[in-house]
A and B are shown apart, each in its own frame.
Chain A
Amino acid sequence: MLQAVWLIPALPLTGFLVLLIAGKRLGDPRAGWLATAMMGAAFLTTVVVFFGLVGRHGEERVFTQTIYTWIASGSFHVDVAFLVDPLSITMALFVTGVGTLIHLYAVGYMHGDEKFPKFFVYLNLFAFSMLMLVLSANFLLTFLGWEGVGACSYFLISFWFDRPTAASAGKKAFITNRIGDFGFMIAMFLIFATVGTLDYVPGLAALGRAPEYTASAIGLLLFLGAAGKSAQLPLYVWLPDAMEGPTPVSALIHAATMVTAGVFLMVRVNPVLAAAPDVGTFIAWVGVLTALFAATIACAQNDIKKVLAYSTISQLGYMFLAVGAGAYSAAIFHMVTHAFFKALLFLGAGSVIHGMHDEQDMKRMGGLRKLLPVTSATFIVGWLAIAGVPPFSGFWSKDDILLNAFDKSPALWAVGLLTALLTAYYMTRQVILVFYGDEKWKTAARPETPAEAHAEPEHEPVAAGAHGGGSPDPAAAHGAHGDFKPHESPRIMTIPLVILAVLAAFGGLLNLPFGGTPLEHWLEPVFGENLRHVTSSGGSKVVFATLAFAAAVFGGLVAAAIYRRHRIAEARVEPRILQRAWLIDELYQKVIAHPGQALSQWLASVFDAKVIDGAVNGVASLVRAGGTRLRVVQSGFVRSYALAVALGAVGILAFALVRSL
């Protein structure tokens, strides 16, 4: 059954190729159905392979399938090969599983978009790249997938490229990721120089025996790559802007799967981190600080997707905290539960945006609970999961991370707990603003927006068809305010929501602390001795869990007091500096973009004009000056030429005579 592993990436690849050729002909919605079917088939294949792996004993759960030799150059040898082990199959399972649901949702969400088939071309290509990334048996093939998902992310962020913001957001994501990719590449060079192979088996084991400074360098460079892909400080800036893409993309790529690639990579190279303990501490601190930093920003955002974007950065920070603490199974556990609840939240947000006719400002929503019953019920499940309320999944995974963080350093735990409080706060704020309170969409006066928005006729109450995804602010096209009623999304969009809500609610079962931690047990062969084992008693575990729960409840209550009971003016808890994300974009603009621009300006106006052009013009004037001198010789008088010839002949004769003497 394990032999079927090659089918897992091959199915989305087939979908991609078919859609590339015949996508336009298949059209809307058949292209979407094909893509979804391919993803579903990939998921079923993964399940088959998973059971094949379960059928083996603990230490034998490693299987490599080589398709063909990709590069053979001297001692440098790279195969296109897949590595099946508990880690890669866990990743593949949730990538294909969540991916299928989001594909299904996208069929409804993107319905009516004029580039509908193209969207699924990219989506299937993304799925292929992501599966190559997680299933690959060597660094280079992982890097191929890594770049593939980066390219798809770029295509999909700037999917509506006629919006300047979307185009520039795509560029921003791409360029920021290049910085990280640079680190990944240097790390690969170092790895090859150190152990002479890029294969995970046995390269990683050999890397674990490398000297500490080599391992540290490799670990740090790989972490640079991971920080770019997984949006950690200081390379996180692209992810909030990436929300310019269609909402299913935000859910699939920028919440559930692609951004976890960095965490996956760090988990994969756990022997390197074990050989370089200081790097682990560094990663833990970067992770926890990112978590706190992004959480503070999320508290003051008004865009429904921006809140979730900063929340994603924050949750990824948690995963890196776990990686840095050596709690790899906790990182994967949180990655899986996060994929469930964050995909759910994003898809729920998409459903709200859809129902609100492309309104994204939470301050213009409110009271949607009754009008969008399925969306609000599932969103609330997602909220409870991410806020860390037992027994929902997020509680268990976050608690697992915090416990391990405390074991590493109490300071890490304290920052993590504060972040948990903030998480509950901003998510409660979001839920209240969107689903409770006054129906602000009835009365909220909109500032006049230019009429460039697609002039859309009134929506039909239930049809997804008129979804004008391509317009910057289509709600403006509705003219007078309050003349529309938010509506529930079609069933094709709510079914994935319900499934994800069930997963988000019960995902904790994967790794219950008092249920024998099945996920940890399952992943254990991959980590071996590198995994941190917390030796605290059951009693202290309960204390930690209670503290985390208390923090979540406190955060939620504060948010309720402010946004439900209006005890404090909203503006006072949303300072401008937080709304503008600590002015980090402005800082980068000043520190990096402006000097870069000035340098380019100087190169263009001074260096290019003086040095480059100067060299070219210099050669020309040199030739010209030489020519002016030499033209005197060409007098045009035949007899002077004859004289020169004669003198030359005499000279040669004289030379020959002198020599022969």
Chain B
Amino acid sequence: MKVPGAWYLALAAALFCIGAVGLLVRRNVLVMFMCVELMLNAVNLTFVTFARMLDDIGGQTAVFFVLVVAAAEVVVGLGIIVSIFRRRAGATADDISFLKG
């Protein structure tokens, strides 16, 4: 059985929305971080789907770049989070507003 491309796209959209809503409503920094990853991967799924539907390798190439950037982002992001938790345990995202103008 061949799964139609639209299903994948719908799934990707759903994943993206879950990630976006999660990012907006959760206060735990780690969870927000995971939501960002979810959104990134939703986009990756879209890329792959389109690459297959249009028979174009370009989409898959883009995914590699996204994966690499996401990996780097994870490193930096987790580093920041760890250093924050070292200074103050149990901080939520709203507690960290040092850049208030």
User: Does A646 sit at the interface, judged by CB under 8 A?
Assistant: yes
Contacts A639-B93, A639-B94 given; does A634 touch B101 at CB 8 Å: yes
Residues in chain A near residue B32, CB distance under 8 A: 638-639
Evaluate contact between B93 and A634: CB separation under 8 angstroms: no
Residues in chain A near residue B96, CB distance under 8 A: 636, 638
Instruction: Give A344 Cβ to nearest chain B Cβ, in Å.
Output: 85
Residue-wise, chain B 76-98 has the 8 Å CB interface mask toward A (1 for contact) of 00000000000000000110111
CA distance A639 to B96 in the complex (A): 11
Residue-wise, chain A 624-656 has the 8 Å CB interface mask toward B (1 for contact) of 000000111111111100110010000000000
Evaluate contact between B24 and A633: CB separation under 8 angstroms: no
Instruction: Give A626 Cβ to nearest chain B Cβ, in Å.
Output: 13
CA distance A633 to B98 in the complex (A): 14
Evaluate contact between A639 and B100: CB separation under 8 angstroms: no
Instruction: Give B10 Cβ to nearest chain A Cβ, in Å.
Output: 16
User: Does B23 sit at the interface, judged by CB under 8 A?
Assistant: yes
Instruction: Give A420 Cβ to nearest chain B Cβ, in Å.
Output: 88
CA distance A638 to B77 in the complex (A): 13
Residues in chain B near residue A639, CB distance under 8 A: 23-24, 27, 32, 93-94
Evaluate contact between A634 and B20: CB separation under 8 angstroms: no
Residues in chain B near residue A634, CB distance under 8 A: 99-101
Evaluate contact between A638 and B24: CB separation under 8 angstroms: no
Contacts A642-B24, A646-B20 given; does A637 touch B93 at CB 8 Å: yes
Residues in chain B near residue A643, CB distance under 8 A: 24
Instruction: Give A628 Cβ to nearest chain B Cβ, in Å.
Output: 10
CA distance A198 to B98 in the complex (A): 74
Residues in chain A near residue B101, CB distance under 8 A: 630-636
Residues in chain B near residue A635, CB distance under 8 A: 97, 100-101
Instruction: Give A242 Cβ to nearest chain B Cβ, in Å.
Output: 67
CA distance A638 to B20 in the complex (A): 13
Residues in chain B near residue A637, CB distance under 8 A: 93-94, 97
Of A632, A638, A646, the contact of B93 (CB 8 Å cutoff): A638
Number of residues in A with C-beta < 8 Å to the partner? 13
Residues in chain A near residue B97, CB distance under 8 A: 635-638
B23 to A, closest residue via Cβ = A642
Number of residues in B with C-beta < 8 Å to the partner? 13
Residues in chain B near residue A638, CB distance under 8 A: 32, 93, 96-97
Instruction: Give A653 Cβ to nearest chain B Cβ, in Å.
Output: 12
CA distance A297 to B20 in the complex (A): 99
Residue-wise, chain B 1-41 has the 8 Å CB interface mask toward A (1 for contact) of 00000000000000000001001100100001000000000
CA distance A407 to B70 in the complex (A): 107
Instruction: Give A624 Cβ to nearest chain B Cβ, in Å.
Output: 14
Q: How many A-B residue pairs have CB under 8 A?
A: 34
Instruction: Give A411 Cβ to nearest chain B Cβ, in Å.
Output: 85
CA distance A638 to B27 in the complex (A): 10
Residues in chain B near residue A636, CB distance under 8 A: 96-101
Contacts A634-B99, A634-B100 given; does A646 touch B24 at CB 8 Å: yes
Residues in chain A near residue B99, CB distance under 8 A: 634, 636
CA distance A646 to B24 in the complex (A): 9
Residue-wise, chain A 156-190 has the 8 Å CB interface mask toward B (1 for contact) of 00000000000000000000000000000000000
CA distance A633 to B101 in the complex (A): 8
Residues in chain B near residue A631, CB distance under 8 A: 101
Instruction: Give B38 Cβ to nearest chain A Cβ, in Å.
Output: 13
Residues in chain A near residue B24, CB distance under 8 A: 639, 642-643, 646
Interface centre among A630, A631, A632, A636 (most CB of B within 10 A): A636
A631 to B, closest residue via Cβ = B101
Residues in chain B near residue A632, CB distance under 8 A: 101
Instruction: Give A651 Cβ to nearest chain B Cβ, in Å.
Output: 14
CA distance A95 to B97 in the complex (A): 86
CA distance A452 to B57 in the complex (A): 99
CA distance A632 to B101 in the complex (A): 7
CA distance A635 to B27 in the complex (A): 16
CA distance A639 to B94 in the complex (A): 8
A634 to B, closest residue via Cβ = B101
CA distance A639 to B97 in the complex (A): 10
Residue-wise, chain A 601-642 has the 8 Å CB interface mask toward B (1 for contact) of 000000000000000000000000000001111111111001
Residues in chain B near residue A630, CB distance under 8 A: 101
A646 to B, closest residue via Cβ = B20
Instruction: Give B73 Cβ to nearest chain A Cβ, in Å.
Output: 15
CA distance A631 to B99 in the complex (A): 11
B97 to A, closest residue via Cβ = A636
Residue-wise, chain B 47-80 has the 8 Å CB interface mask toward A (1 for contact) of 0000000000000000000000000000000000
Instruction: Give B95 Cβ to nearest chain A Cβ, in Å.
Output: 10
CA distance A630 to B101 in the complex (A): 9
Residue-wise, chain A 57-68 has the 8 Å CB interface mask toward B (1 for contact) of 000000000000
Residue-wise, chain A 116-130 has the 8 Å CB interface mask toward B (1 for contact) of 000000000000000
Instruction: Give B22 Cβ to nearest chain A Cβ, in Å.
Output: 10
Instruction: Give A48 Cβ to nearest chain B Cβ, in Å.
Output: 86
Residue-wise, chain A 563-598 has the 8 Å CB interface mask toward B (1 for contact) of 000000000000000000000000000000000000
Instruction: Give A645 Cβ to nearest chain B Cβ, in Å.
Output: 9
CA distance A635 to B97 in the complex (A): 7
Interface centre among B93, B96, B99, B101 (most CB of A within 10 A): B101
Instruction: Give A275 Cβ to nearest chain B Cβ, in Å.
Output: 76
CA distance A550 to B53 in the complex (A): 126
B93 to A, closest residue via Cβ = A638
Instruction: Give A139 Cβ to nearest chain B Cβ, in Å.
Output: 66
Q: A633-B101, A635-B97, A636-B97 are in contact. List 15 more A-B contacts (CB 8 A).
A: A631-B101, A634-B100, A635-B101, A636-B98, A636-B100, A636-B101, A637-B93, A637-B97, A638-B32, A638-B93, A638-B97, A639-B23, A639-B24, A639-B27, A646-B20
Question: 9 tightest A-B contacts by CB?
Answer: A634-B101, A636-B97, A636-B100, A631-B101, A636-B99, A638-B93, A642-B23, A637-B97, A643-B24
Q: List 6 A-B pairs, Cβ < 8 Å.
A: A632-B101, A636-B99, A637-B94, A638-B96, A642-B23, A643-B24
